[in-house]
Structure 1
């Protein structure tokens, strides 16, 4: 991506890791998933977010995944971002150095998280990452569960120093927060969690790295188009999406002791849009099969707009 290119926007789908019965990544199923994501109409895809289990991959798996996604996306002209995150800042820098030649549209970066850095340490970290791949745009991946959450003033300081910082994943906020976002970061492509996509983008966000796309990427894209054509209808649908998450998805975390990644993969398995089950890489727990079936039934009953008749 050229540094002067248009910042990313829209609905971006996470690349999830199909896990076979041996607990290994099933690469052929992942290839099918990429094709399904492209056919869904998502505006781009990204690897190694929370749902992409960057925290559980070996370096060999990381390299293979990055190469596979890069080759596919270049072959079909689908924008893509590679997450180079790692709890060890030095390993994250090595990952970035290896993937820069794959020419992603951007790289996503979390802050080191075993010991949460100060702002000054975060700035040193990002400056070194920028120097490692000076032609590669960067996305600050700073979701609600990050150990070090940067506030808007800190992100504005970081952006002022590092023009290659073109975007961020942030949790969103209230009307006051969005007013500050528009004022302090008018040139930053801020992505909002998928279930708040309508209100977040009307408030100043540019798109979502979407958990709703885990459930139905094509449905999430239709919702995005509805936001352009019928904002009031899109907001009304958001209320139903949030209600579904609160009623059916979040309780799984308590009932079965699941991580955020497990919830996203349970939604993907329930959505049945690609060959993937709910299993996570060792040692993390996944949603049981009966819970996935119940989740899919509830989604089709309460959010039928997300699903075509074939799903």
Structure 2
């Protein structure tokens, strides 16, 4: 397989944002979570996807989180990627400009979701983001909440117009679509979550958008590496485990609907028991009972995915200083 994509083939990981009881950023917990992800081998991090509550923050919180995220990421040699979720294109443009002043050059775009964009509006949105800021790189977050899921044909057109459209996060894609994505847009790096990555990595040079596998970064990396090596047996075995783990998580959290952060913050709490599960209102987070239930299910059914905390955890380091 040749690989001519504009963005590296890697594991892409979300950073959840911890809020204290007053709804303010829990700075030290956030910094520890970023440092922990880097220490565990995740070198491509982003903030403000759905799991990071990019849809829920006001401008002061946006700026504060971006400042802390960029500072801590760079402290560990990681270039930050910032998500942009808004109904307002002027707000998206303004956020990009503020991030550029901070030296941030990598962004994650989501389409405005109040109404599905038609073709003219779609072209305008990308012209006012990718086209307006040619020195920045953009990843598109392709999700149903936007009202329009982009197709391989859409990406072929956009990739030809915008050389700084470098990657896409796919929240879902059937097998025929996976084949067409690699065939029609080889210049774009396509990232898939666990269940689709296992197939997509056999078709083309897929990136891995880590979700439930983040509970154990070492095994998540093994899953990614199995895809790079096209090791069918390892991929299928680990994918079956991950699908089962996702089911255990949904059973633990209970009936919804729940926004993504309700699940992803459980993963963050697996790494740091002090990580708060609350979401910004009006969204409902998970509970400590759900977190404990999920941990029990992991220990009972998937012990190979249980990461044992040790003395190099930042919380342990702080307690000895």
**Residue aligning to 1:234:** 235
CA contact (8 A) 1:33 1:274 kept: no
**Residues 166-215 of structure 1: per-residue CA shift (max 9 Å, x gap):** 11011343332222112101111011124433323223253223212543
CA contact (8 A) 1:195 1:212 kept: no
**Residue aligning to 1:250:** 250
Task: Between 17-26 and 171-180, report the one with greater CA deviation.
Answer: 171-180
SS of equivalent residue, structure 1 residue 54? coil
Root mean square deviation of aligned Cα: 2.3
SS of equivalent residue, structure 2 residue 167? strand
1:138-157 map, 5 Å: 138-157=138-157
SS of equivalent residue, structure 1 residue 266? helix
**Residue aligning to 1:278:** 277
Listed as ranges, the gaps of 5+ residues in structure 2 are: 311-321
Shift, 1:261, TM fit: 2.0
Shift, 1:281, TM fit: 1.1
**Residue aligning to 2:216:** 216
Question: Within 2, Cα distance between the matches of 1:255 and 1:228?
Answer: 36
**Residue aligning to 1:102:** 102
Shift, 1:61, TM fit: 1.2
Task: Between 236-245 and 141-150, report the one with greater CA deviation.
Answer: 141-150
**Residue aligning to 1:137:** 137
CA separation of 1:215/1:182 partners in 2, compared to 1, >3 Å: closer, same or farther?
Answer: same
SS of equivalent residue, structure 2 residue 140? strand
User: What TM-score comes out, normalization by structure 2 length?
Assistant: 0.87
**Residues 234-259 of structure 1: per-residue CA shift (max 9 Å, x gap):** 221102211221x3223456525422
1:140-179 map, 5 Å: 140-179=140-179
Question: Within 1, Cα distance between the matches of 2:101 and 2:305?
Answer: 37
**Residue aligning to 1:287:** 286
Matched, 1:31 2:27: no
User: What TM-score comes out, normalization by structure 1 length?
Assistant: 0.89
SS of equivalent residue, structure 1 residue 56? coil
> Structure 1 segments of 4 or more deviating over 6 A?
none
Listed as ranges, the gaps of 5+ residues in structure 1 are: none
Count residues in correspondence.
306
SS of equivalent residue, structure 1 residue 17? coil
1:15-54 map, 5 Å: 15-54=15-54
